Amino acid sequence: MVDLVRRTCSCGKFDLLKIPCRHDIKAGFSVGRQVHSLTDEKYTTSSWISVYEESINPISVPGDAWIVPEHVEKAKVLPPESRRAAGRRKKRRYKTVEDKIRSQGSNGSTKGSTKRKCSRCGIEGHNRSTCDRAI
């Protein structure tokens, strides 16, 4: 049961989040209302602008107010001990996503278009195990 005037739905999602659920969206489309008009006022741009109108500044603490114990200042902090995972390490083939896209080229395939060549006769199109040429 959806009530678009009171902005309620029997599933409860519309009541909690104030964002229309799938039932509300379908009901809104059936009566010709825009979906963005069903959301609560707190999600509008004007509401967000009014909330952050004033600048938010951190509370400043004078440097001499910090009292750090001497044993804390002299403590040597090391990283936690960790063990390497068993097995072979994973190798990162690409450093960034851009490198991966660049390496794929224009055809979009990850493998190059290299032809296989027989190591016995040197002709492309087959390999040594399927070579039928005389030695």
> Mind listing the pLDDT tens digit for each residue in 14-48?
888 888 888 888 888 899 888 888 888 888 889 88
Residue 78 lies in a domain: no
Query: In total, how many domains does the chain have?
Result: 1
More confident residue, 33 or 90: 33
Residue 123 lies in a domain: no
| The dihedral sign for the CA sequence 69, 72, 73, 74 | positive
Cβ pair 133, 120 in contact under 8 A: yes
Stretch 53-74: mean pLDDT, rounded?
A: 80
- CA dist 122 and 126 (Å) reads 9
Domain that holds residue 31: 2-51
